[in-house]
Structures are given as C-alpha cells and as structure tokens.
Structure 1
Amino acid sequence: MRKHNRRYKDSVFVDLFSNDKTAKDNFLALYNALYNTNYESTDILKNIRLKQTMYMSFANDVSYLVDNKIIVLAEHQSTVNPNMPLRCLEYVTRLYEHIQNPRDRYSRALKKIPVPVFYVFYNGRENLPAQKILRLSDPFIMQSETLSLELVVKLININYDKDSQIVKSCEPLGQYSRFVDAVRRHIAVDKEHGFENAIKECIKNDILREYLQRKSREVVNMLIAEYDYDTDIAVQREESLMLGIQQGKTLGLTEGVHQKALETAKVMLTMGYPLADICKISGLSSAEVEAL
C-alpha cells in the first residue's frame, strides 16, 4: 500500500462530527437520535474538544457541550479497550479544567457543572452485542456496594450489518457506517487502491457523497493514518508481549545464577574456606554468605 501524507491526525469519524463544515449539523442529528429530541439549530452546540489531544493519546474523540451535558464520543475500530472508562475519567477531568473557571474550585458557593456522558461507537470485527456498558468500577481490586467513584461508558455497535437503532435513526452515522463497510470490503481485495475504490463506490451510491466529493484526498490521508495507527497499536502489543517474555527469561536466568552461587557458597562453608575466598569465588556479598 502506498504511503500518503501522515500529517492528518484525526479520523474520518472525528472530521465528520467535529471538524468539517458540516460537523455541527451531523452531531446535532446524532444528538437528536441519542436523546429523542428535535433540535434544529446548531447554536445550542459548543465544540469543546481538547485540541492538544493527539495521535497516540485519546484518539478519535468528539466532545460537545449541549443541554448542560458534556457529550464525549470515541470511536473504536479494533479490539474494544476495557480501560476506556479510566481513559474517559482522565479526559473529562481535563475538559472540566478547560471549561471551568479555576477559581470556582475554591468558591464557598456550590458551582454547577455540566453532566458528563460517554459513548464508544464500535465498528470493529469482533462479535459484540448491539450495546454494552463499561464501568470504571469493573476492575476495582475490591468491590463494594457503596462506591466513592463511578463512571459509565455506553458502548454501541454501529456496524452496518448489526441493524443498530441509532444507525437507523441518525442519517450521518448510518452513512458513515456504510462507508466504513465499503472501505473494509475494498481493502480486503485491493490494498493498493482500496481506499480510493471505496470512495468511488460511496459517491456512486450517494453515501456521504457531498463530503467525499469535496474532501476525497483528505479522506484517503485520514484513512491511511487510521490504518497506520491500528498497525502501530498491534506492533506495540506484540513488542510488549515479547518484552514480557524476554524479561521473564532474564529473570529466570538471574535467579538460576544466584541459586547456583548460594549452593557453591554452602559447599565452601562446609569445607572451611575463608569468608573472603567464598565471596570472591561465589560472587556473593559477605552478608549473604554469613546469612547461610
């Protein structure tokens, strides 16, 4: 697959719902679908996405302030990250720092804050249910009926073949889901031209037509960046696994050498060797030898 401009950090998902000139209209349609509302004006929306969020951190995020709620969306195209609630906690903390006056934290009066709501839209290939709840408390080492801290993330499977209600009721999300399906099909048979062919098919079939006609080259670059991101994650996981195996081997070897030294020192002690000679030959410290 030929390489394109890697400067694009965001995904097509983020561009459609956060950056593009139609992003607010798209997000408003999504919000109406999620909350069964009928808002028509995007004036109620305030994009509060953290600009410093980059490629390898909280990827593919969309954040809006609307109806006294902070809506945080994230997209997953690979394995679902069970640590997403913790990542959302870190992220929303930074959002509160961004939107709230720092002095309010020390005010004697109670300062109201918007309610955070978290969604993960999943369009990977794992066989996941239509919806799933991820909780910050799930991995707590100790479980308790009374929690001092909780955060809930709603995972929604938006794969086109899953017949999701939200995909049906939100036209921009539905078209995006069909676009992802087209990309996946074309890449499977032609890695060199798959992205371009998927875009051509979608334009022909009136799937994100105006958007893709206007930004086809940018979309290809974003898809390449997404592809490279998933590859990077896979490589990191593999490297982490190999590092763990190597560290285990090294640890085992080190422990074996130390055990051999202890056995040597014990034999030398029974034979009456001087302490200095035992330390020199075994490599142990005098304290270690004296402790035998």
Structure 2
Amino acid sequence: MTDYNYQKDIPANRTYKSRIFEMIFSNKKDLLSLYNATNGTHYDDPELLEVNTLENAIYLSMHNDISFVIDSRLTLYEHQSTYSPNLPLRYLMYISDLYSNMTKDENLYGTRKILLPAPKFVIFYNGIDEQPDMQELRLSDMFEIVDNIPSLDLRAVMLNINPGHNPHLLDNCKTLRDYSEYTARVRRYAESSPLSEAVEQAITECIKEGILAEFLSKNRAEAKKVSIYEYDEEKVMRMLQEDARETGRQEGETQKLKEQISKKLAKGNTPEEISEMLEEPVEHIRELIAELSQKASI
C-alpha cells in the first residue's frame, strides 16, 4: 500500500506554501509512476529515484516543484495553472543552483571532466486558458536577437493535463488523472459556491468516488487549506494578467492617437480641429500634444 504520510516529507521551514501537486508526488511510488507515464519507461523500484529538490531556492515564487535523478537523468517537474513564456528562464536559474549544489565539492578548475546528469524539463499545465496538449518552450525564444544556432538554450516541454487533454498520459498515471479531476472540480464548484464550500464538496466527492481518496482522507485539513490558497493565488495571477493586457491595450490606443495627432499637427490643424476630427475631448488632445512636445525637446 502507498505510504501517504506526506507531512513528514514537506519541510516546515519553507518560505512558500506547498502545492497539492508536490504534496502528492512527494511520494516516490507516485512520482515513479508519473515518470514512467511521461517517458514510456517501466521502472518498478521507487528507491531508484534520488529526489534533490532545492528548498527556498532563489526567490519566493521561483522554486521548482520536484526535481530528481534516475538513471543519470535529472528531471525537473513544474506544475503551472497560469501560462508563462518566461518559464525557461526560471528553469535556467534553478538548474544553475542545482548543478552548483551538486558540484560544490568538485574541482571545477581541474583537468578531470565532471559528469552531470542530463536534464529534462517538464511543465504540467492545468490552467483555464486554452493550450495545446503539448508545446515546447525555448529560452532562445526570449532572446532579442535571433541566432540560427544559439550559444545557450533550454527546452522545456509543457503538457496540458486538464480533463480531455493527453488522455494517454492520464490513463497511464492514475494519480495524475485523479489530480487533474480534483482540481477541475474545485475550479468548477467555485464558480457558483464560496471557495471553502467548493473545496469541501470536491474533497468529499473525490473520496467517495475513489479519486485521490487515500491522500485526501489522510490529509483532508491540509489539502483543503492548500487548495484554497492555490485557487486564490491562481485568481490573483489571472487578474494581474488581465490588468496587464488592458494596460497594454490602452497604451497601444494612446500611441496610435499620438501618431494621428502628429500627422494632423504637421498639416497645420489646430487642437480644436484635431479634437473634432478624432472625436476626442480637446483637453485630452492638448495633454497629448504637450507630451509630444516634451518628448521632442528631450
């Protein structure tokens, strides 16, 4: 039987809250099942896994959920409910710390080659924004200048684990499928009920239906607290992204208006005439003309 004493595996001094994903897959048996499903392998001894997740790494929001070594391969798993094109850069910062920790007792200036486990970066996505089953995120896509052969790159695979996506993966790892279903229910019930009630309903139903039943039964209070935190965090991140998009839209409209004003000023139109032509308040037109004049004088 799977040992679900998760509390002992999660250090109490973390500066960030544990996630449901890492609570579940802190169990080596389930983590090995996830690795096998993701890679098409058939390892059966959980003790082959050497978990080496760094605690309190880099920044509060830049930790990696789970990292481990098996068969000389270093795998880094990250769960995300919000899509970010910056994940490869975050991975780069994290793996730099991880390799530094691995080689702290090695002579980096010696003539003997230091061998490192080959890395693989996987993101499990279950946000509400539509994403393909699988996509590759590259560090080189973030570079301002495009090189045909970049001197530095990092490739991360993002897998959509929402219900209806990647059925083969979810069918081959029941725990991942159960996690996907549980989080989907929390999100769905929270649309019409207070969050605390939505989480309680999801937990009760999942236990009854055998979905993460053992984990949720033994960790009910902690799972509820973390689920509420996660959903609130997800909602805040979504609002921040929406605000950023709205700010970008407004800035784009203002820039377009300034370009129109500049053209009309060049033709000799007055602020009043421009106001009438562009159907904008004359006070706003005068403000933008002042900004244009100030910028031109710098």
TM-score by length of 2: 0.74
Match of residue 45 from structure 1: 49
5+ residue gaps, structure 2, are 1-14, 256-285
Q: Does the Cα contact within 8 Å between 1:9 and 1:55 map onto a contact in 2?
A: no
Look up the match of 2:70. Answer: 66
Quickly say closer, same or farther: Cα 1:8–1:95, change in 2 above 3 A: closer
Q: Which of 167, 185, 203 pairs up with 1:199?
A: 203
Deviation at 1:102, TM superposition (A): 4.6
The secondary structure found in structure 1 opposite 2:141 is coil
Whether the aligned pair in 2 keeps the contact of 1:49 and 1:63 (CA below 8 Å) is: yes
- Pair 36,111 (structure 1): closer, same or farther in 2 beyond 3 Å: same
Letter in 2 for 1:11: R
Query: In structure 1, what residue type is equivalent to 2:290?
Result: G
CA distances 1:55-89 after superposition (whole Å, capped 9, x unpaired): 842256111111111111111112x1011111111
- Per-residue deviation at 1:115? 0.6
TM-score (norm 1): 0.76
**1:256-287 Cα deviation digits (max 9, x unpaired):** 38958x99xxxxxxxxxxxxxxxxxxxxxxxx
Using CA pairs below 8 Å that are at least 6 residues apart, which structure has the higher relative contact order?
Answer: 1
* Cα distance, 1:243–1:181 mapped onto 2, change above 3 Å: closer
Q: Deviations over 1:204-226 (max 9, x none)?
A: 11001011000011001111221
Q: Once the 2 structures are TM-superposed, how far is the Cα of residue 255 of structure 1 from its aligned partner? A: 9.3
Corresponding residue to 1:95 among 79, 98, 115: 98
Distance of 1:212 and 1:71 partners within structure 2: 26
Aligned-partner SS, 1:39 = coil
Contact 1:8–1:221 (CA under 8 A) maintained in structure 2: no
How big is the alpha-carbon RMSD for the aligned residues of Structure 1 and Structure 2?
3.0
Consecutive unaligned residues of structure 1, counting only runs of 5 or more, are 1-6, 264-287
Aligned runs of 1:236-255 on 2, under 5 Å? 236-237=240-241
Which of 160, 166, 177 is matched with 2:180 structurally? 177
In structure 2, do the counterparts of structure 1 residues 195 and 144 end up closer, same or farther at CA, with 3 Å as the change threshold?
same
SS in 2 for 1:127: coil
Show the counterpart of 1:15.
23
Aligned residue in 1 for 2:224: 220
Runs of 4+ in 1 over 6 A off after TM superposition: 238-246, 252-255
SS of 1:58's equivalent in the other structure is coil
CA distance, structure 2, for counterparts of residue 236 and residue 16 of structure 1: 28
* Whole-angstrom CA distance in 2 between matches of 1:64 and 1:58: 17
Contact 2:138 2:153 in 1 (8 A): yes
CA distance in 1, matches of 2:287, 2:106: 56
